[in-house]
Amino acid sequence: MTNSPFTPGIVPGRLQPEAYEANFADLHEPLDSHEALVAADRCYFCHDAPCITACPTEIDIPLFIRQIATGMPEAAARTIFQQNILGGMCARVCPTETLCEEACVREIAEGKPVLIGQLQRYATDTLMAAGVHPFMRAAPTGKSVAVVGAGPAGLACAHRLAMHGHEVTIYDARPKGGGLNEYGIAAYKTVENFAEAELDWLMKIGGITLETGKALGVDMTLDSLKAEFDAVFLGMGLAGVNALRADGEDKAGVMDAVGFISDLRQAGDLSALPVGRNVVVIGGGMTAIDAAVQSKLLGAETVTILYRRGRDAMPASRYEQDLAASKGVRIVFNAMPVAVLGNGAVTGVRAEYTRAEGKSLIGTGETFDLPADQVLKAIGQTLDGTPDGLTLSDGKIAVTGAGRTGVAGVWAGGDCASGGEDLTVTAVAEGRDAAEDIHKALVG
Ligand SMILES: Cc1cc2nc3c(=O)[nH]c(=O)nc-3n(C[C@H](O)[C@H](O)[C@H](O)COP(=O)(O)OP(=O)(O)OC[C@H]3O[C@@H](n4cnc5c(N)ncnc54)[C@H](O)[C@@H]3O)c2cc1C
Ligand code: SF4
């Protein structure tokens, strides 16, 4: 090892080779069958269960937990996949602490929810490990649908359409399918190439062709898709990145957090991935937390998140904030960057404290400097180009009902569409619901 956490600049190999494997191991060890039975036993199988309502895909949680409790994990997995075909990924990445587990009556009564996410993983992993695909296609309808984007929204839509007997072609600009499951989610939440395995498993339904390296706006237009297919679903996510709007943003060492994470997710050898000695991450969402935690796990000496508002306003949950703190990441609240310092390459970030005045945020005039040789921008993604004829609402494709856009025959869902939180599970729900609506429109 030639480098260490103290080596200046952005360099690879800051840690001993074996440290990478330990640092990027599974965030939660999977439950074994005994632990799953014990966890399932804590469920009260509530009538009108609040956990179901809190789940964007409305999985029948008490039913699947009862199925686990009675020794039928495969049946539990079917219950989950019926509502959420990416139930395996969602079990790993859902912020359950703000969804089902927050609503669980045992969380409210005792501050200790039923481990819904981990039970979901236990059930879905059991069925997937057996190589079983639990659904059959209906008889062919003779209708064809184009899906743009192979992320959670596009995959959920494609799978549901294929189940109904339609022929689906998914186009994705990237070399691999999976969207942010493959390129964005933190490595320690989805170990052992789970995104790729899940995609292969999902495709077993049949009737879906995935064409990678094909971009809407480059290789095809919305009009050409409308002419060739009976319906179009747009699930292209948010491929653009917001600008920092601080002086010196163009200095070497300033990069998008999403690009940094994508490189990390695709790296065959984490020890070859360069990371700064002092890393400053700007933002307050999951991307900021993931970029910061993974920089630290790659061996950065110091990692600081700058967030312009207070702790309670931070989009990343308290659980995520605590995870970051437990890995040695420092979060500075109520501070915003005003300049990136350095001559050519970044050497630091000048930040100013902020205070809220009514709805607006103003600088207090008090500044401080943080040393930095790498600055990661995690200040939100944007729609990258709007297909012709579509209207926008708050920068996203405007939709009504189950993803209907203003253009006949074109639906949209997931991060690129208006409404709903930018979460994997929400994208799945929207893709699935759009597919049901497309199906109704196609078969009458
Ligand atoms: C770093 C990061 C970490 C996250 N962590 C979590 C988490 O832990 N838990 C959670 O619930 N959510 C998390 N999210 C949010 C979650 O990943 C997204 O909400 C979800 O992936 C949205 O799914 P989607 O299908 O709408 O879009 P994406 O997953 O973005 O997929 C869109 C797909 O469309 C393709 N595409 C884009 N433009 C075109 C085009 N012109 N032509 C063809 N294809 C195109 C892209 O290549 C991509 O494959 C995270 C997001 C980021 C950025
Ligand atoms: S709210 Fe909690 S206890 Fe009630 S059904 Fe859901 S998981 Fe079980």
Which residue matches tokens 């939440």?
A: 189
Percent of the chain with pLDDT over 70: 100
Instruction: Write the pLDDT tens digit of every residue in 357-401.
Output: 888 899 999 999 999 999 999 998 999 888 888 999 999 999 999
Distance separating alpha carbons of residues 34 and 182, to the nearest angstrom: 31
Q: How confident is the prediction for the chain on average, in pLDDT?
A: 96
In this predicted structure, which of 136-140, 196-200, 245-249, 431-435 has the lowest mean pLDDT? 245-249
Residue 279 · residue 376 · CB < 8 Å = yes
Distance in Å, CA 282 to ligand 2 centroid: 37
Q: What is the mean pLDDT of residues 277-300?
A: 97
- Ligand 2: atom nearest CA of 116 is 7
Given this model, what pLDDT does residue 25 score? 95
Instruction: Write the pLDDT tens digit of every residue in 313-360.
Output: 999 999 999 999 999 999 999 999 999 999 999 999 999 999 988 888
Q: Is 261 in the pocket of ligand 1 (CB under 6 A)?
A: yes
H or E stretch covering 32:
none
Residue 317 burial (CB count, 10 A): 17
SS (H, E, C) 44-59: CCCCCCHHHHHCCCCC
pLDDT at 444 over 80: no
Write the residue with the smallest CA distance to atom 1 of ligand 2: 104
Q: The whole model's pTM is what?
A: 0.96
Probe residue for ligand 1, chosen from 92, 99, 180 as the CB with the greatest number of ligand atoms within 8 Å: 180
Distance separating alpha carbons of residues 78 and 81, to the nearest angstrom: 5
Distance separating alpha carbons of residues 142 and 222, to the nearest angstrom: 21
Given this model, what pLDDT does residue 198 score? 97
Q: Is 14 in the pocket of ligand 1 (CB under 6 A)?
A: no
Residue 339 · residue 368 · CB < 8 Å = no
Residue 443 · residue 143 · CB < 8 Å = yes
Instruction: Write b or e for each residue in 104-137: b if 16 or more Cβ atoms lie within 10 A of its Cβ, otherwise e.
Output: bebbeeeeebbbbbbbbbbbbbbbbeeeeebbee
Given this model, what pLDDT does residue 245 score? 82
Which residue matches tokens 């993974």?
A: 294
In this predicted structure, which of 14-23, 107-116, 210-219, 243-252 has the lowest mean pLDDT? 243-252
Ligand found nearest the CA of 43: 2
pLDDT at 1 over 70: no
H or E stretch covering 346:
strand 345-357
* Token pair listed for 284: 């307050």
Q: Which residues line ligand 2 (CB under 6 A)?
A: 43-46, 49-51, 61-62, 65, 104-106, 114, 116
pLDDT at 242 over 90: no
- Ligand 1: atom nearest CA of 189 is 8
Distance in Å, CA 243 to ligand 2 centroid: 42
Distance in Å, CA 105 to ligand 2 centroid: 6
